Each structure stands twice: as structure tokens, then as C-alpha cells.
Structure 1
Amino acid sequence: MLKMVDVYSDSPRSYATLSYVDIVMVKATQGTSYVNPYCDTDYQHAKKAGKQRGIYHYAGGGNPESEAKYFYKNVKGYIGEAVPAVDWESYQNASWGNTTWVKRFVTEFHRLSGVWCLIYVQGSAISQVANCSKLCGLWVASYPSTNWKSWNVPNMKVNTYPWSVFTIWQFTGDDMDRNLVNTTLAGWKKLAKTDKSKPAKKSKSEWVKKNGTFTLGQSLEIHKSPHIESDSIAKLKKGDTIKFDATLQGPKRLWLRQPRANGTYGYIVARDKYNKPLGKIK
């Protein structure tokens, strides 16, 4: 297996060029307001030293699509040569325990970049990200002790279910985050490649300006973003009417945009994924 070290702003800068390490995974962003000031420094030093690279986002637990966009915006220059990952853990994570957050994040990042993220999670919390097992590789944290300050591989069982194997196993996290990578250098490079001819900069679907009213044919929610799993702003009942100023025909649903206070918007589904109308548009 390959050796990998993951680094962040407080790591010694020398970790990016350790002679016995094959891969350097660099923290890039957190939430929607933090960029690691040493990200590119460590990344470029690792690249110059002939190391394979990865870049990761630490989940802040805000809107997952917004965090995916923020991550992509700050790492798009590395796409195609560095393997992306999302770090899902409890510290400073407002959505810890949410079982849909990571799937929404990786789906949005894939839409933007054409690459599926690896998912970092502790072995005891894999159930929170299990719905990603057919999409993403697993980067599991499982330690033999809190004081295993060695590259000697511990003899222990590592939980990966429902993944059959791990892509990365982080087995120390005290003085250094030591990791074993279950692939070859060629395999790592393949994980970094996009599955599109070029990254998508925006969705093919576009908003169309159109004013009208929508009378609900059933109970529906108004969402913070045009995504069926995004947070709810309000719950409306059958017969309620809203005004809208734009429509979006997405790949599965027709969305209406509702102007709200202070220049904000709400979003409601007018036709479902089976093209069934959920109310009357006038």
C-alpha cells in the first residue's frame, strides 16, 4: 500500500515533502468562509517533490450545495490532478448526524467537477454516509490507540461496511495523520480524473423570467434552494396560492421561484419527477 499524510494549516510545512510519503492530502476549505492559507504552498511543494496530491474540504454543516460550490471554486485549478475528499466529523459541524448531507455535497461537487469525492469519516460513524457507498471511495479513521506514533501498521480489524474495502485508512491522528492508501500510484491518478470531457461550470437548466401564480393541488414545502432535499422555509397546504417570478425546468422537476423579503427567494416544485402537475399555474 501507499503512504499518505494529510496536512492542514497547523501542520509542519515539512510534512508536504517527506521522502518516505507517496501522497500528500491538503486541507483546502471549511464551511463557506475559510480557505487554508497554506493550501497552495503545501500543494506546490508536494508537487515539486514528486508526490501525488489530494485536497479536502472540512464540512461545516451548512447548506451542502453551497459548501460544495465553495470547495469547487477554491480548488478548481487542481481538478484532474488531485483527488478531492470531504471530511465528515463532529467538531465544528452543525449537521453532524445528518444522513443526507454528505450525499448532497458529493453529488453537487460531482456535477461541478466531474469527480466523486472520497469521504473521510470515523469508523463508528460510517452509517451517516452509507448512502454514498456506491458513489465514493471510503477514507476511514480507525486508530489502535491514541498514542500510535509510528508507521508500523497496526494488526486490527477496520470497519468499512457497507464498503467492501477502504480506499484510505487513517490509523494515527496524534503527532501526525498517517494513512495507508489501498491502490497504486496509477490507481490514485485515476481517482483524480474527471468523468466528463470538461468540468461543468453551470447547470444546463436555466431560470426563465415569468410572472404568475401557483395554486397548490396538495401540501408542499417552500425550499431554500431548488433542490428537493434542501431546507424548508415554509409548509403550505392544498389550495394555498403563491406568486412566482421565474421558472426552472430541471432534469427531474419544474421549479418556481417565489420572491420573499429582503431580496431573498423561496423555491417550490410545480411538476414532480414523473411530470405530474402538483397544482395550477396561471
Structure 2
Amino acid sequence: MTNFFVADVSSHDTIDAAALPQIGAVIIKATQGTTYVNPKCNGQYAAAKAAGKKLGLYHYASGGDPVAEANYFISNIKNYVGEALLAIDWEGYQNAAYGKNANWVKQFVTRVHELTGQWCLLYTGADGARECANVKDLCGLWFAGYPYYPGTKKMYPTFTVPTKFPYSTAPWPTYTLWQFTSSDGTKDMSISNMPLESWEKFIGKAIAPVPSPVPTKTVAQLAAEVISGKYGSGNARKAALGSQYAAVQAEVNRQLGATSKPAASKPAPAPTGKKAGVWYAQNGTFTLGANQQIWLRSAPLTGQKIALMHSGHEIKYNAYGYFNGYVVIRQKRATGYGYIATGTASGTKRTSYWGNFK
């Protein structure tokens, strides 16, 4: 595993958030200033350790006496020294020294090193990195920068890594970790710039690991995200996926059970003024076309599989709707409903048919 996800948790998070299955490591807020200890720290640490995660602890700078804050941090996490990577959180909120004392972080990390033999990772943004230039040879950089998800003014989803790093880390040559999202305030998530096996090697070191490329996603992973609606439909999806569009779309169709493109047949009446994600009442029968296998599911596109429908199968339905680039019909069953995709759509305009309607 080259790059891996790193969660940042504090008292705002649950105990279980420190042991998310998707992450390789967790860095837990331990202290702030000289008066605050995260009441969930020990529980979060234990949960992460039991789940086999790499471990880290951080202190949030309040901007008081840096030596006193370093002493307070280590006195509260001394049982974990040598096992956990240590970090200092340097940002403007609730920090009286931010932007006013360029030596604060150096004094703090030097004192931590005196007490533990470890150098801290520095968590900060572009402004903080420039302010703390005097520790660039002592501390690896945990960079905070949140680009917008393409076509939106929202942050990236928690486990969707941006394809580019659009910031300067100067005077650091690169970052060790990049916190690329807080999912608009709900979950902080970072991606590493080092292999997982380097975590312990980095504990106590003054030099950031050699970076490796941010991982690209497989066609199957992109297809799963398409089905969940992350890339929209039609031209928006084509633009987002670029040269991978054809391969990803073929995988999407395979995952949904559409194994070939049937000849166009008589369409259902073309909708006008419709909205995506809304059910419209319509009674009819859908018959699967030649060489088709499509799953009937408990929810549109991603629900549990109920039955595999084959060519010639007839599905009586009482409503249809447009969901994430597909036209889906709804079948009344003894216990609830079954749902099956009948072809692709661009917005609320059907673009293909996987069978016949009557």
C-alpha cells in the first residue's frame, strides 16, 4: 500500500471514528493549551490500536508559553511516547500567538524532542508553513488545504482524493500528509505521501519521507462512484471522467447487469418537465431485450439483489424515475417494491433502452 487515508479525530468524533475500516492511521487530539485534555483520547486510541491502525497524537496550540504547552502535552501522553507519531496543530483559531510569534513552534517542538527524542509533525496551512519556516528541517508537514470538488463549491467527499495538489508547501519541498477535506465540516481526512510501513520509521525523525504519487482509482472504483451519483450524468459525467469515460461506463453497465446494448425498441412516452429522483406513476410492462441480464433490487441501482432478470423476462411496473443517469422502474411486490434499471439517461432524457415497453 503506497498511500493511505489518515483520520484526524477529537472529542467531536465518536470512539469508533478512530477505527474506520478505510483508514490506515489515525491522529488523535490529546491536549490544548495547558488546561484541556480530550476526554475521549484514551478510548479513541485504544479503539484504533485494537483495529490495527497506525497511531498519532496531536497538541492544539493555544499560543501561551510554548515550553509549558509542550510539557503539558507530553505529561498527558507519556504512556504512548515511542508508539505514536506526535504532531503540533498550528492554526489561527483560539491561538494567541498565530501570526505573531515565528519562534513559537520551534520552541514547542524542540522541547518535545528534549522530552521524548521525537520531532513533531507540523499541521498547518500555507500561511502557517511560511510562518514556521525555521522548522522545515525538523518537522514533516501535515498540510491543510481544501479544494472544491469539480463543478461545486463544496469540499471533496471524505474518501475521494483530488487528482491534483493545487497549493504551495514552500518552504517545505512537499507534504508528508495532506488534509484535503473536512467534508464541509463533518469529517477531517488526509492522504499520506509515504507508504504505510514508513509510519514507525518517521516517528522521531526530522526528515519527511520521500513522496510517492497520489493514487489513481481503478475503473471498478470509479464505476461504483458513478452508480452512487458522484459524477452526475450525460456530458457532466463525460467531462469528469475524461479519457476513462468509455471504460468506466462499460463497467457501470456490467455492475448493473446490462451486459450488451440491445437494439432500440419502442420507447415509453418521452417525459417532459420531469425531475431526477422523483417517482412518476405509470402502469406498464417492461420486457428485457436480447442478451440481457439485469438485477431486480430492493432500492434503485444500489439496493440488495432480489432476482436476476434474463432476456424475455417481463416486469410489471407502476412507476418510473430518473436516478444517477438511469431510467428505473418500480415493481409492486408482496413486501415493498423491487427496482430495475431499464436504460441510460442524460438528466431526464432517456438515451438507451435495455428492453421493450408496452
Residues 22-61 of structure 1 aligned to structure 2 (within 5 Å): 22-61=24-63
Residue identity in the other structure for 2:9 = V
Contact (CA 8 Å) 1:149, 1:175: kept in 2 or not? Answer: no
CA distance in 2, matches of 1:21, 1:182: 14
Alignment partner of 1:147 is 2:150: no
Alignment match of 1:71 (pick from 66, 73, 90): 73
1:249-260 pair list within 5 angstroms: none
The CA distance in 2 between the partners of 1:3 and 1:52, in whole Å, is 11
The answer to whether the 8 A contact 1:54-1:82 is kept is yes
**Equivalent position amino acid for 1:164 in 2:** P
Aligned to 1:212: none
**TM-fit CA distance, 1:190:** 1.2
Deviation at 1:99, TM superposition (A): 0.7
Aligned partners of 1:64 and 1:101 also within 8 Å? yes
Amino acid at match of 1:179: S
2:108 is matched with which residue: 92, 105, 110? 105
Name which of 164, 172, 181 aligns with 1:163: 172
1:16-27 to structure 2, matched below 5 A, reads 16-27=18-29
Alignment of 1:138 with 2:145, yes or no, is no
1:194 to 1:118, Cα distance in 2 relative to 1, 3 A: closer
CA distance in 1: counterparts of 2:109 and 2:58, whole angstroms: 12
Q: Take 1:118 and 1:194, find their aligned partners in 2: how far apart are those partners? A: 9
- Cα distance change, pair 165–194 in 1 and its aligned pair in 2 (3 A): closer
Q: Return the alpha-carbon distance in structure 1 between the equivalents of residues 107 and 54 of structure 2.
A: 27
Q: 1:182 aligns with which of 178, 190, 193?
A: 193
Which of 199, 203, 218 is the aligned partner of 1:192? 203
What one-letter code is carried by the residue in structure 2 that aligns with 1:110? Answer: H
Between the aligned residues of both structures, percent identity stands at 46
Aligned to 1:124: 127
Using the alignment, how far apart are the partners of 1:156 and 1:133 within structure 2? 19
Structure 1 156/167 Cα, relative in aligned 2: closer, same or farther at 3 Å?
Answer: closer
| CA–CA distance in structure 1, aligned partners of residues 79 and 190 of structure 2 | 25
Deviation of the 1:101 alpha carbon: 0.4
State TM-score, norm by structure 1: 0.67
Give the root-mean-square deviation of aligned CA atoms: 1.4
Shift of 1:128: 1.1
| Partner SS state of residue 23, structure 2 | coil
8 A contact 2:147–2:166 mirrored in 1: no
Amino acid across the alignment from 1:104? Q
Instruction: Identify the structure with bigger relative contact order (alpha carbons < 8 Å, sequence gap 6+).
Output: 1
Higher mean alpha-carbon deviation, 40-49 vs 181-190, is at: 181-190
Describe the superposition over 1:164-185 as per-residue Cα deviations: whole angstroms up to 9, x where unpaired: 1101100012211110111122
Give distance in 2, aligned partners of 1:114 and 1:3.
Answer: 26
- Work out the CA distance in 2 between the residues paired with 1:193 and 1:95: 25
The corresponding residue for 2:342 is: none
Contact 1:26 1:43 in 2 (8 A): yes
Secondary structure of the 1:134 match is: coil
Alpha-carbon deviations, 1:103-141, whole Å to 9, x = none?
100001101110000000012331111110001100010
Partner of 1:225: none
Greater fraction of residues in strand: 1
Cα distance in 2, alignment partners of residues 36 and 3 from structure 1: 22
Cα 1:152–1:87 change in 2 (3 A) is: same
Unmatched tracts of structure 2, length 5 or more: 149-153, 207-358
Against the structure 1 CA distance between its residues 117 and 158, is the aligned structure 2 distance closer, same or farther, given a 3 Å change threshold? same
CA drift at 1:192: 2.0
Structure whose alpha-carbon radius of gyration is higher: 2
CA contact (8 A) 1:46 1:53 kept: yes
TM-aligned CA deviation for residue 159 of structure 1: 1.6
**CA distance in structure 1 between the aligned counterparts of 2:88 and 2:158, rounded to whole angstroms:** 25
Instruction: Give the partner amino acid of 1:18.
Output: L
User: How far apart are the structure 2 equivalents of 1:64 and 1:168?
Assistant: 24
Q: Counterpart in 2 of 1:223?
A: none
One-letter amino acid matched to 2:147 = P
- Cα deviation 1:135-164 (Å, max 9, x = unaligned): 110001011035322322113423211111
1:15 equivalent in structure 2: 17
Q: What letter corresponds to residue 15 of structure 1 in structure 2?
A: A
- Return the alpha-carbon distance in structure 2 between the equivalents of residues 9 and 91 of structure 1: 17
